[in-house]
Amino acid sequence: MTLITERPGTGAARPYAFPAVRRLSKHGGTVIAAHLPGQILASAVLLLDASAAREAEGREGTATVLAKSLEEGTRKRDSAAYALALEGLGAELAPSVDWDAFRVGVSAAAPMLTDAVRLAAEAARTPRLDPADVARVRDDEVTALRMDWAQPGPRADAALREALFGADGRYRRPLHGDPASVAAVTVDDVLAFHEAWMLRPGVLLVAGDLNALDLDALAEAAFAGTSGKPLTPEGPLGVPVPGSRRTVLVDRPGSVQSTLRIGHRAPERAAPDYVAMTLAATVLGGAFTSRLNHLIREVKGYTYGIRGSYAMTRRAGRFEVAAGVQTAVTGPAVADTLGEIARTQREGVTEAELEVARSWRAGQLSVEMQTPGAIAGALAGLVVHGLPDDYYETLRREYLEATVEQVSEAAARHLAVDGLTLVVEGDAAVIREDLAEFGELVDSEI
Amino acid sequence: MGPGRCKIGGVTSPTAPVDTTGYPWPIETTRLANGLRVVVSEDRTAPVVCVNLWYDVGSRHEPPGQTGFAHLFEHLMFEGSQHVKKTEHMKLVQGNGGSLNATTNPDRTNYFETMPSEHLELALWLEADRMGGLVPALTQETLDNQREVVKNERRQRYENVPYGDAWLRLLPLLYPAGHPYHHATIGSMEDLNAASLETFQAFHQQYYAPNNCVLTVVGDTTPAEVFALAEKYFGGIAAVPDIPPAPDGNLPGPATEPAVETVTADVPAPRIYLSHRTYPFGTPGYDAVTVLATVLGSGRGSRLYQRLADGARIAQPDYIGSYGVDLAHAPAPLIITATAKDGVALETLQEGLADVVRSLIDEPVTDEELNRAKALLTTAWWRQVSTAGGRADTLGRYATQFGDPAAAADRLSRWLAVTAQDIAKAAAETLRPESRVTLTYIPGEQA
C-alpha cells in the first residue's frame, strides 16, 4: 500500500464575489435582491422593524405570540384555507423575531415565489387575529415554552441574560419571553403590537435566480396596503462589566450534565474592531481546534463540544462560552474554561492560531453562503446594520488582513475574565461544593 | 396552478405524466482498479467544492457486545492518520476555510468537507490518508479520549433531554433481537466502556477499504481533474477482499403483534410515539410512505395538524408530526408523534391519533392533500440539492445503495407519481393496529 506522504499545496484561488445585488424601490418599499444563477429554489424575507425590543415590560413574548398567530387565518381566508394555499405552493411561512427585527420568510421554487410572498404579506399585514385564536395561540406558546424550558439550556440562558442585562429593560428577559411573561400577554397587546409595528413597508430581501423572478411583482406583493416612514434607530446600550466574578447556580436535579453559560457584556455590532473581536473569539472558542474545544473536549474529554463567541446585535453585545459537561467534572471544566479565557485576554493569540481563524472565517463566506436562505440572511445583515452592498467582499479582505497585534488587542480589550458571570445549570446537590472556588455563588430564582 | 406552468420544481396534477428530473446537473463516474467508485458533478456557480465519502458500514454491521463501535470509530477518523498529526485534520480543513463533519447511522458512515475550491487536492489527500493509513496512528490515548467524548454525546443528545431516548426505545420494539436495526447507533455505555484498541484496528482494516466506499466530488472542478487526483491519492490503497456483509435485514412482513411501552419520566407533558415498519428506502412502497407521511404530518395543512392541533385541539401544535426514517436495508420506520395539550387525557390523544392514522386507510387522500404534500416534498428536494454538500451526499447515497448516482434524479418524479390509491394501499399494508409500536411518556417520578 502506498500513500502520498506529502501534503499538497494550494491550487489557484478563484476570486471571491458575493452574488450581484440589485435594489428596486417600488410600490412604497425597497427590494434588495441577490442573483443566484441556476438556483431552482428562491427565498424571500420580509424584514420589519418590529423586534422583540419593542415589547412592553412584563409582556415579553408578545411579538412571538403575534408571529405564531399570523397563520391563524387572514381577513381573506381561514387558517385551513391559508395553510392549503401556501403549502400548495410548496412554501411554509417562517416568521421569526430577534433583537433587531421581525422577519417573515418563505422559500419555494422560483416560479412560485411571488405567490408565496403575496401570501406571506397577507398574513403579515392583514392577519385575522380573532381574539379567541390569539388567546389559544398564547396559551399554546406558554405550554411550548414550558416544554422548551424542561430541556437543559433555556433556564441557564435566561439566568445569564438577567445577570448581564438586569438594568436594561426589555433586554433583561429572554428573546421569546418566559412562561410567566407570555401568560401575561393579552389579546390587546398582540393587536396593538401588530398595529404599531407591522404595517410599515419594511424591506423585502430576495435571493434566487433573478432571471426567473419579477422584482416589480414581488415588491407589489410585499408592500401592498402599507404606509409610514422608517423609524429612527436607537443608540447602543453600553458595555457595563462588573468588577468581580459571580456564579449563578440553576438547579436541575438528576442532570447527568452541567450546562455552562459563562459570559459578560460586549460592544454592539457596529464596534470598529468587530473583525478582530470575531477572530479572537474564533481562536478562543469558535473553530473546532479552538483553545477551549481542544483542551476541554479533545484533551480532557469533559464534553461533546464547547463554544465561545461574541453575539452582537444593533444595540447590545455579549461574550459567552456555552457547553454541556459531565456532572462529575463540572468544577474542573469551569476552571479550565476560565484558564483559557484568562490566557487569551492576557497573552492574545499566536500567528499560527490566527492563520486558521482568518482563513476559516474568510472561507466560510463562500462555503456557508450557498443557499438562497443563507444569502437572504446575509442581505438582512446589510439592512439591519446599515452596511453597503459590497460589504461581504470588504469583510473577507479584513479577515485576511487582520494582524496578531490587532486581534490580541481586541482580546485584551473585550475579554474580562474577572467580570464574568458563571451560570451553571445542573444537579445542585452534586456540584454546589465544586463551584465554591469560583467566588460568590447565588441560587437562581429561575 | 396547472401542469406546464413550471418546468422544474412545478406542482403537477396527480394524473399528469411526470418527467421532472430531480438532478439537472451533470454526473460522471469512474471506478479505480482498487474498486473505489468516484462520482463527479461539476457546477461552477460558486468557488466551492464538496468532497464526500460514503463508507458502506454502519451500526447494522455491529455484532452483539459492540454496539456504538461504528460511530465511535467515526470519531477516531478525525484524530490523525499516517501523515496527518493528531488535531491536524480539523486544523487543515478549517484553517483553509472549509466546513466538515461526519455522521453514522444504521446503514452507513459518511465523511464530508466543503472547501474553497483551491483546496480540493488537500481534502482528497486528507481523506486518502485516513482511508489507507489510520491504523498506525491509532493510540489507546486517542481511543480513551474519544470514548469519553462519545459518552458525553450520548448524555447530551439522549439522556439529559426529556423524551431524548425515544429513538433508543423504539428500535428494539420495531426490530426483533438479532436484527441489524435492533440497536441504536449511539450504542450502550457498557459496550463503549469495553471497546478495545484491537477491535478498532480490525474494524478499520475490514471496512475502510476503497472497494467499500464511494467518493463524490461536487462543485467547482472537472471530472478529469477529480479522476486524476483520485488515482493519485487513492490509487495506491489496496482493496480488501471478501468484506463480510451485515446480517440480513429481511423481515417476513409487518409485525403481527402490537408492541407497547410506557415510560414514566421527568417529562413536561404526556407524549405518544406510534411507529410501524414500512418498506425499505428506495422502493415504490417507501415512496408512497414518504408522500403519506407528508400528507399525515408535515405542515399546518396536514391531517394531524388540522384534526388534532387545530380541530380537536388536543395536541400541542409545535410538537405534532410524522416522518419516515430513510433506511435502505430493511423495512424503514414511519414515526408519528403527538404531545397532549394541558388537561387532555392521554387516552383522548391516543384515540385521536389512532383515528387519524386509520383515516389513511379508509378515507381517501384528496387531490388537494396530495398536491400540497407533493409541493412541500418538491421544495424539500430542491432545498436538499441547493448546496454542493447536499448534492454530494445525495449522489453518494444513490451510488452506494442503488449502484447508480444518476438514480437520484428519479426520486422526485417518483414522489410526484404517487397516487391516492398508492397511499391507501401502503397504509392498509403497513399501518394496521396489529403491527403498531406505541411508546408513551407520562410525567412523573422516574422508576
Quick: pLDDT tens for A400-438: 999 999 999 999 999 999 999 999 999 999 999 999 999
pLDDT at residue B249 in the model: 93
For the domain A246-443, what is the CATH superfamily, name and number? Metalloenzyme, LuxS/M16 peptidase-like (3.30.830.10)
Chain A partners of B2 at a C-beta cutoff of 8 Å?
none
In this prediction, residues A362-376 reach a mean pLDDT of 94
Nearest CA in chain B to A288: B90
Q: Do B339 and A147 touch (CB under 8 A)?
A: yes
Query: Smallest Cβ distance to B94: which of A5, A10, A289?
Result: A289
d(CA B303, nearest CA chain A) in Å: 11
Query: Smallest Cβ distance to B316: which of A143, A303, A366?
Result: A143
Q: Do B152 and A107 touch (CB under 8 A)?
A: no
Burial of A304 (0-12, 13-18, 19+ CB in 10 A): buried
Percent of chain B with pLDDT over 90: 92
The model's pLDDT over A198-213, given as tens digits with 9 standing for 90+, comes to 999 999 999 999 999 9
Q: Which of A269, A345, A342, A351 has the alpha carbon at shortest distance from A310? A: A269
pLDDT at residue A254 in the model: 93
* Residue B16 predicted with pLDDT over 50: no
Query: Smallest Cβ distance to B299: which of A92, A143, A152?
Result: A92
Nearest CA in chain A to B153: A304
pLDDT category at B87 given cuts 50, 70, 90 is confident
Q: Which of B34, B79, B90, B140 to mutate to test the interface with A (most CBs of A within 10 A)?
A: B90
* Residue B18 predicted with pLDDT over 80: no
- Return the axis-axis angle of helices A79-87 and B367-384, rounded to nearest 10°: 50
* Residue B6 predicted with pLDDT over 90: no
Query: Which three cell numbers mark A147?
Result: 416544554
Beta bridge partners of B113: B51, B100
pLDDT category at A2 given cuts 50, 70, 90 is confident
- Domains of chain A, by residue range, sit at 21-223, 246-443
> Residues A97, A48: contact at Cβ < 8 Å?
no
DSSP string, A402-429: --HHHHHHHHHHH--GGG-EEEEEE-HH
Are A21-223 and A246-443 the same fold in CATH? yes
DSSP H or E stretch at residue A225: none
| A230: Cβ contacts below 8 Å, ≥ 6 apart | A49, A200
Residue the block writes with cell 502506498:
A2
Pairing mode, strands B37-42 and B213-219? parallel
Q: Do A371 and B387 touch (CB under 8 A)?
A: yes
Nearest CA in chain A to B158: A256
Torsions phi, psi for A445 (to 5 deg) = -95, 0
Number of neighbouring beta carbons within 10 Å of residue A400: 14
Q: Do A90 and B147 touch (CB under 8 A)?
A: no
d(CA B71, nearest CA chain A) in Å: 14
* SS3 of residue B131 by DSSP: helix
CA angle in degrees (0–180, nearest 5) for A105-A107-A109: 155
Beta bridge partners of A317: A266, A312
Chain B partners of A1 at a C-beta cutoff of 8 Å?
132, 236-238
What gap in Å lies between CA A76 and CA B196, rounded to an integer?
Answer: 66
Number of neighbouring beta carbons within 10 Å of residue A98: 17
CA dihedral of B431, B432, B436, B442, whole degrees rounded to 10: 90
Chain B partners of A40 at a C-beta cutoff of 8 Å?
8-9, 24, 382, 386
Beta bridge partners of A249: A424, A443
* Residue B343 predicted with pLDDT over 80: yes
> Residues B290, B22: contact at Cβ < 8 Å?
no
Q: Do B268 and A147 touch (CB under 8 A)?
A: yes
What gap in Å lies between CA B216 and CA A181, rounded to an integer?
Answer: 51
> Residues A127, A69: contact at Cβ < 8 Å?
yes
d(CA B401, nearest CA chain A) in Å: 26
Q: Which of A434, A101, A254, A374 has the alpha carbon at shortest distance from B267? A: A254
Q: Which of A39, A41, A251 to mutate to test the interface with B (most CBs of B within 10 A)?
A: A41
d(CA A97, nearest CA chain B) in Å: 17
Name the DSSP letter for residue A14.
P
Chain centre to alpha carbon of residue A327: 28
pLDDT at residue A15 in the model: 86
Sheet holding A257-266, edge to edge: A303-312, A317-326, A257-266, A421-426, A246-251, A440-443
pLDDT at residue B19 in the model: 54
Amino acid at B371: N
Sign of the torsion angle spanned by Cα atoms A185, A186, A189, A190: positive
pLDDT at residue B252 in the model: 84
Buried b (16+ CB within 10 A) or exposed e, B149-183: bbbbbbbbebbbbbbbbbbbbbbbbbbeeebbbbb
DSSP string, A262-313: EEEEE--TT-TTHHHHHHHHIIIIISTTSHHHIIIIIIT--EEEEEEEEEE-
Residue the block writes with cell 401575561:
A184
Nearest CA in chain A to B100: A288
Query: Smallest Cβ distance to A1: which of B92, B236, B300?
Result: B236
DSSP H or E stretch at residue A32: strand A29-35
What gap in Å lies between CA A325 and CA A138, rounded to an integer?
Answer: 34
Query: Which three cell numbers mark A72?
Result: 391563524
Q: Do A36 and B45 touch (CB under 8 A)?
A: yes
The model's pLDDT over B22-49, given as tens digits with 9 standing for 90+, comes to 999 999 999 999 999 999 999 998 899 9
Nearest CA in chain B to A286: B94
pLDDT category at A175 given cuts 50, 70, 90 is very high
In this prediction, residues B321-344 reach a mean pLDDT of 97
Choices 3.90.1150.10, 3.40.1440.10, 3.30.830.10, 3.90.79.10: CATH for A21-223: 3.30.830.10
* Residue B8 predicted with pLDDT over 50: no
Residue B186: half-sphere exposure toward Cβ, Cα within 13 Å: 20
Name the DSSP letter for residue B248.
P
* Residue B130 predicted with pLDDT over 60: yes
Q: Which of B419, B386, B380, B411 has the alpha carbon at shortest distance from B298? A: B380
Chain centre to alpha carbon of residue B140: 31
Chain B partners of A146 at a C-beta cutoff of 8 Å?
268-269
The model's pLDDT over B218-249, given as tens digits with 9 standing for 90+, comes to 999 999 999 999 999 999 999 999 999 999 99
pLDDT category at B325 given cuts 50, 70, 90 is very high
In this prediction, residues A316-335 reach a mean pLDDT of 97
Name the DSSP letter for residue A169.
G
Q: Which of B333, B325, B57 has the alpha carbon at shortest distance from B175? A: B333
DSSP H or E stretch at residue B133: none
Length of chain A: 446
pLDDT category at B446 given cuts 50, 70, 90 is low
The model's pLDDT over A50-86, given as tens digits with 9 standing for 90+, comes to 999 999 999 999 999 999 999 999 999 999 999 999 9
Q: Which of A402, A395, A401, A403 has the alpha carbon at shortest distance from A16? A: A395
Q: Do A257 and B90 touch (CB under 8 A)?
A: no
Query: Which three cell numbers mark A58?
Result: 412584563
pLDDT category at B253 given cuts 50, 70, 90 is confident
In this prediction, residues B202-231 reach a mean pLDDT of 97
Nearest CA in chain B to A152: B161
pLDDT at residue B445 in the model: 80
> Residues B188, B12: contact at Cβ < 8 Å?
no
| B363: Cβ contacts below 8 Å, ≥ 6 apart | none
Q: Do A108 and B161 touch (CB under 8 A)?
A: no
Query: Smallest Cβ distance to B97: which of A6, A79, A360?
Result: A360
Q: Which of A77, A147, A148, A294 to mutate to test the interface with B (most CBs of B within 10 A)?
A: A147
Chain B partners of A13 at a C-beta cutoff of 8 Å?
47, 116, 118
Chain A partners of B306 at a C-beta cutoff of 8 Å?
80, 83
Q: What is the pTM of this model?
A: 0.94
CA dist A410 → A241, A291, A344, A403, A414 (Å): 16, 17, 10, 11, 6
Q: Do B94 and A140 touch (CB under 8 A)?
A: no
Q: Which of B40, B61, B59, B62 has the alpha carbon at shortest distance from B51? A: B40
Q: Do A41 and B116 touch (CB under 8 A)?
A: no
Chain A partners of B266 at a C-beta cutoff of 8 Å?
150, 254
Buried b (16+ CB within 10 A) or exposed e, B323-346: bbbbbbbbbbbbbbbbbbbeebeb
What gap in Å lies between CA B126 and CA B172, rounded to an integer?
Answer: 37
In this prediction, residues A143-164 reach a mean pLDDT of 96
d(CA B61, nearest CA chain A) in Å: 25
Number of neighbouring beta carbons within 10 Å of residue A253: 10
Pairing mode, strands B37-42 and A303-312? unpaired
Beta bridge partners of A24: A31
> Residues B69, B203: contact at Cβ < 8 Å?
yes
Chain A partners of B238 at a C-beta cutoff of 8 Å?
1
In this prediction, residues A244-268 reach a mean pLDDT of 97
pLDDT category at A224 given cuts 50, 70, 90 is very high
pLDDT at residue B77 in the model: 96
What gap in Å lies between CA A238 and CA A257, rounded to an integer?
Answer: 34
pLDDT category at B254 given cuts 50, 70, 90 is confident
Q: Do A111 and B376 touch (CB under 8 A)?
A: no
In this prediction, residues B343-366 reach a mean pLDDT of 96
Chain B partners of A16 at a C-beta cutoff of 8 Å?
47
Number of neighbouring beta carbons within 10 Å of residue B119: 28
What gap in Å lies between CA B3 and CA A16, rounded to an integer?
Answer: 39
Between A41 and B20, where is the model more confident?
Answer: A41
Query: Which three cell numbers mark B65?
Result: 457486545
Chain B partners of A304 at a C-beta cutoff of 8 Å?
149, 152-153, 155-157
Mean pLDDT of chain B: 93
The model's pLDDT over A258-278, given as tens digits with 9 standing for 90+, comes to 999 999 999 999 999 999 999
